[in-house]
């Protein structure tokens, strides 16, 4: 069975995702150190207790996620939920590895790139083939939805491909032109998408102001689920790890309706 040293693995991940470029809300990379030799990784969206138990049951050496731990403004005390999760990781010598904004932003493995693939969105690109992006931290992607004429058709495709009925604000028959998207909790970036000329903005979550901005700007708003829009980047990253090091990598999807 092939193995990779945890330091070699995390160095490759850091370099591949250019983690040092980002000023993030949580530490990127190795968050809890476990055993040094890695032969089996479980990937998932969030380092929840359920995902950790799934990794333990499968005999994994590491857990690789998009939503790790130690978020800015978290209560730093090791009590309650944090104690239970940390106790599991330490008792089973698991490595916990997390990448937040670097995984959102990666041009091929990232959540935005992978959501485009799943939904059939076509990213707009510059003359060098780099995706056109805008907004805070340059995380909003811009492009089009080939084969889709209306907002209602786009919402229906999202429901079919993500397995989740999205929240859609706008007239079903309004035309789809320039599409902007940013996975997860990027509802607060909608104004940037509107300023960039989007006719539809797709993200994971919704807040009360989104409905007003959609109605007053005429830009369609689609909230397709935080978890549902961010399942694909970590899968692509896990496959890249498996290809690079020849180790076993499994994705475990812990259902989350949010």
Query: Binding site: which residues?
Result: 66-67, 104, 226, 230
Residue ranges for the known binding site for a divalent metal cation are 66-67, 104, 226, 230
Return the bridge partners of 98, or none: 29, 65
| Pairwise CA distance, residues 31 & 13, whole Å | 13
Q: Is 152 exposed, middle or buried (0-12, 13-18, 19+ CB in 10 A)?
A: middle
Say which residues have a Cβ less than 8 Å from residue 103's Cβ, sequence separation at least 6: 17, 66, 109, 110, 111, 233, 234, 237
Print burial letters for 37-55: b (CB count within 10 Å at least 16), e (below 16). Answer: ebbbbbbbbbbbeebbebb
Cα distances from 152 to residues 170, 171, 172, 213, in angstroms, run 9, 8, 4, 18
Question: Which DSSP string do the residues of 72-138 spell out, in sequence order?
Answer: TT---S--HHHHHHHHHHHHTT-EEEE-SHHHHH-TTTSHHHHHHHHHT-EE-B-TTSPBPEESGGG
For the beta carbon of residue 104, count every other beta carbon within 10 angstroms: 24
Query: CA 113 to CA 235: how far, in whole Å?
Result: 12
Distance between CA 242 and CA 92 in Å, rounded?
A: 22
């Amino acid at each position: 069975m092939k193995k990779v040293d945890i330091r070699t693995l995390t160095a490759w991940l850091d370099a591949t995702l250019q983690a040092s470029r980002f000023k993030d809300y949580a530490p990127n990379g190795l968050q809890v150190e476990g055993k040094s030799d890695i032969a089996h990784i479980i990937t998932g969206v969030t380092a929840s207790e359920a995902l950790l138990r799934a990794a333990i049951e499968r005999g994994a050496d590491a857990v690789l996620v998009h939503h790790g731990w130690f978020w800015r403004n978290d209560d730093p005390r090791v009590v309650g939920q944090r104690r239970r999760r940390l106790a599991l990781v330490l008792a089973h010598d698991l490595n916990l590895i997390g990448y937040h904004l670097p995984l959102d932003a990666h041009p091929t493995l990232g959540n935005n790139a992978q959501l485009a693939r799943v939904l059939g969105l076509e990213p707009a690109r510059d003359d060098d083939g780099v995706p056109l992006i805008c907004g805070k931290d340059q995380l909003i992607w811009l492009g089009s939805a080939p084969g889709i004429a209306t907002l209602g058709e786009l919402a229906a495709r999202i429901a079919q491909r993500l397995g989740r009925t999205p929240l859609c604000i706008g007239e079903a028959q309004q035309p789809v032109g320039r599409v902007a998207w940013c996975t997860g909790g990027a509802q607060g970036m909608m104004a940037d998408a509107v300023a960039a000329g989007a006719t539809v903005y797709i993200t994971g979550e919704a807040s009360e102001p989104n409905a007003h901005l959609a109605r007053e700007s005429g830009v369609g708003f689609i909230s397709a689920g935080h978890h549902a829009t961010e399942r694909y980047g970590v899968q692509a990253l896990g496959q890249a790890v498996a290809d690079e090091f020849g180790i076993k990598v499994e994705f475990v999807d812990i259902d989350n309706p949010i």
